[in-house]
């Protein structure tokens, strides 16, 4: 595992619908304070103050407790102003607890504090549904888009725009 810079300004976010999440954030906060971390902010993922502080780059690490929906919500918080470009600020670390359980999170948090972690770049996409010249919907998504109607999958035509330049290719897929 590579060695990176250790974060020192933490945001802890949790899904407010998970009963055990808030007390668990308290345990993580105590652990971080015992390790000498002074800058710790915690709130639920829906807190507007959290979004504003992430946008203002007040943290260099966001720890999110929750499932897939929480991870998706966190990815939206990490993106700036509704744009599909994620905020890859120098020195910003985002940590999603995919492998951790209630029994071994201290081990992984210690590794993070030692700079022993792996970073993976993820892509945010803006998916738009057009019917003729009418925009029917627009969504920010992580990594992929599935287009289907119920159980019936029909082929679609995909056109790509990169930084305002329309890619000359068209893809047909199902």
What is the number of alpha carbons within 13 Å of residue 151 lying toward its C-beta?
Answer: 0
The number of distinct structural domains making up the chain is 2
* Euclidean distance between CA atoms 73 and 54, whole angstroms: 13
| Residue 66, domain extent | 9-113
pLDDT at 36 over 90: yes
Q: Are residues 16 and 98 in the same domain?
A: yes
pLDDT category at 22 given cuts 50, 70, 90 is confident
Q: Among 69, 91, 113, where does a domain finish?
A: 113
Q: Are residues 108 and 26 in the same domain?
A: yes
Q: Among 71, 92, 113, where does a domain finish?
A: 113
How large is the average pLDDT for residues 128-141?
Answer: 87
Q: Among 80, 113, 146, where does a domain finish?
A: 113
Q: Are residues 77 and 52 in the same domain?
A: yes
pLDDT at 71 over 60: yes
Asked whether residue 57 is domain-assigned, the answer is yes
């Amino acid at each position: 595992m590579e060695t990176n810079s250790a974060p020192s300004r933490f945001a802890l976010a949790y899904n407010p619908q998970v009963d055990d999440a808030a007390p668990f954030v308290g345990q993580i906060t105590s652990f971080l304070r015992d390790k000498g971390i002074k800058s710790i902010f915690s709130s639920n993922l829906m807190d507007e103050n959290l979004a504003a502080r992430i946008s203002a780059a007040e943290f260099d690490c966001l720890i999110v407790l929750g499932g897939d929906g929480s991870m998706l919500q966190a990815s939206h918080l990490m993106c700036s102003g509704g744009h599909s470009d994620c905020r890859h600020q120098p020195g910003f670390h985002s940590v999603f607890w995919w492998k951790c359980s209630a029994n071994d999170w201290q081990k992984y948090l210690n590794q993070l504090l030692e700079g022993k972690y792996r970073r993976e770049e993820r892509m945010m996409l803006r998916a738009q549904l057009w019917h003729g010249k009418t925009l029917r919907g627009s969504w920010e998504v992580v990594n992929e888009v599935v287009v289907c109607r119920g159980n019936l999958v029909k082929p679609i035509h995909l056109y790509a725009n990169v930084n305002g330049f329309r890619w000359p290719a068209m893809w047909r897929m199902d």
